[in-house]
């Protein structure tokens, strides 16, 4: 009974995350009207970091040196790099294509899990992954008017981002399974959020843009929604999903 309850919960979480992350690609595209790709990626990290900062302050003494290292790796590979890669890619490719290519994540999770994290999978896990991949290819084919032509260089950035996600899913399941999903998300952003904040405030044009052009505030609102709902809160839920299910399912 408990196993069935967890399965139902996992599917509900997965469906909700699909809706949230599907809209995230649209928000990234809208944010790029006002900011550069680097600014969008780093602001996404900074705003998520600031949202989760109160939790980090309360729990920072409970994090060991070993956990600090693992959480830093998770934050860099699973959040910072994908945020920058998706933003850069969407300066050229559409949000729809970015979202579709993102569905490669389960396939890469399976491959990396089997070869590097000793992940054991059942035949229906593999079948489900390849069915999802086939569906993604079909969506790209149909949405492109039966002509699979797109900028392969920028599309590769999305593929690289999905590899980062896949690594992070397996990494969390293997090395951070003893921490709560809230703690994992909070400190993943804590360690990358500090340098990202310094860069945005001192080395970027973001403060100047916000002061000189009030329309830029619209882009900041898009990024605030993306960061709080589509990143921080979504990752807390997603990390919970990783803990109660398999990496391939998540």
Calculate the dihedral angle through the C-alpha atoms of 63, 48, 76, 206, rounding to the nearest 10 degrees: -130
Residue 144's pLDDT is what? 53
What confidence tens digit (pLDDT) does each residue in 192-205 have?
Answer: 999 999 999 999 99
Residues 6+ apart with CB under 8 A from 235: 48, 79, 185, 188
Contact yes or no for 93/157 (Cβ under 8 A): no
Distance (Å, whole) CA 111 – CA 119: 9
Among 26-40, 50-64, 100-114, which stretch is predicted with the lowest mean pLDDT? 100-114
Residue 47's pLDDT is what? 97
Pick 126 or 237 by higher pLDDT: 237
Per-residue pLDDT for 178 more than 70? yes
What confidence tens digit (pLDDT) does each residue in 216-235 have?
Answer: 999 999 999 999 999 998 88
Residue 107's pLDDT is what? 84
Measure the CA angle with vertex 229, ends 2 and 104; round to 5°.
Answer: 70
What confidence tens digit (pLDDT) does each residue in 92-147 have?
Answer: 998 888 888 888 888 888 888 888 887 776 655 666 666 666 766 666 565 555 45
pLDDT (mean) for 32-54: 97
Closest-CA residue to 36 (of 115, 82, 90): 90
Residue 129's pLDDT is what? 65
Distance (Å, whole) CA 192 – CA 170: 20
């Amino acid at each position: 009974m408990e196993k069935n309850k967890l399965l139902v919960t996992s599917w509900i979480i997965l469906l909700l995350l699909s809706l949230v992350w599907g809209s995230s690609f649209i928000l990234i595209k809208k944010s790029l009207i006002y900011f550069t790709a680097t600014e969008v990626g780093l602001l996404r990290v900074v705003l998520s970091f600031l949202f989760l900062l109160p939790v980090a302050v309360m729990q920072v003494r409970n994090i060991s040196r070993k956990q600090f290292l693992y959480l830093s790796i998770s934050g860099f590979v699973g959040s910072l790099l994908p945020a920058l890669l998706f933003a850069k890619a969407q300066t050229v490719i559409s949000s729809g294509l970015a979202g579709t290519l993102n569905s490669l994540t389960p396939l890469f999770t399976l491959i990396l899990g089997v070869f590097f994290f000793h992940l054991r999978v059942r035949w229906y896990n593999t079948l489900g992954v390849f069915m999802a991949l086939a569906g993604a290819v079909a969506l790209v084919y149909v949405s492109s008017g039966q002509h699979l032509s797109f900028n392969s260089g920028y599309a590769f950035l999305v593929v690289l981002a999905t590899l980062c996600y896949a690594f992070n899913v397996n990494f969390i399941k293997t090395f951070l399974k003893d921490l709560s999903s809230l703690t994992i998300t909070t400190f993943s952003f804590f360690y990358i959020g500090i340098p990202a904040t310094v860069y945005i405030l001192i080395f970027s044009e973001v403060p100047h843009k916000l002061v000189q052009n009030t329309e830029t505030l619209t882009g900041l609102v898009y990024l605030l929604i993306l960061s709080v709902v589509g990143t921080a809160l979504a990752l807390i839920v997603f990390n919970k999903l990783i803990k109660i299910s398999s990496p391939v399912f998540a």
